[in-house]
Amino acid sequence: MYFTREFIWLIKETLSIEEIIQNEGVELFKRGSNYFVALCPFHQEKHASFVVITHKQFWHCFGCGAGGDCFDFIRQIRGINFPLSVKYVATRYGIQLSDDYNKKRQSQRNKDRLTFNAGNIDTSIKNDTIIF
Ligand SMILES: [Zn+2]
């Protein structure tokens, strides 16, 4: 299974990272228009060093150094790999997986056929997708 970069970008554009993080049980405190803090769920601490920068769709912990986007968060808090975290977020928040996935798979198949006939390997297809 793979997801296109466009699909991953679409999820990030559609959903709010603070909502995804809060729904995993992390209590966020607003500190500015684009900024939340929390006690880090990945290490023990008494003072909040976990920040979420909403307009950049990014989180970071100054205590333990963990950080990333919403998929990195799900990956780490649920202990799953990146593709599963994309699938988890898409499924939980009602973003259609199947249409995009099937369409891309079909076009990938056609591309593979053309590539095979042409007798050369087009690596740009691989660069456009995340395969696992
Ligand atoms: Zn931390």
User: Distance, CA 79 to ligand 1 centroid (Å)?
Assistant: 15
pLDDT at 97: 73
Residue 3 CA to ligand 1 centre (angstroms): 29
Distance (Å, whole) CA 50 – CA 28: 9
Q: What are the sequence ranges of the domains in the chain?
A: 2-121
Q: What is the largest CA-CA distance in the chain?
A: 62
Separation of CA 111 and ligand 1 centre (Å): 44
pTM score above 0.95: no
User: How many CA atoms within 13 Å lie on the side-chain side of 71?
Assistant: 19
Q: What does pLDDT average to in each consecutive run of 10 residues of the chain (132 residues)?
A: 84 94 97 96 97 96 97 97 94 77 58 44 45 48
Tens-digit pLDDT profile for residues 85-119: 999 999 999 988 755 555 555 666 655 554 444 43
CA 125 to ligand 1 centroid distance, Å: 37
Q: Which CATH number fits domain 2-121: 3.30.230.10, 3.90.580.10, 1.10.1060.10, 3.90.76.10?
A: 3.90.580.10
- Find out whether 73 and 79 touch, Cβ atoms under 8 Å: no
Distance 57 CA to ligand 1 centre (A): 18
pLDDT at res. 99: 54
Would you put residue 107 in left (φ > 0), alpha (ψ -120 to 50) or beta?
alpha
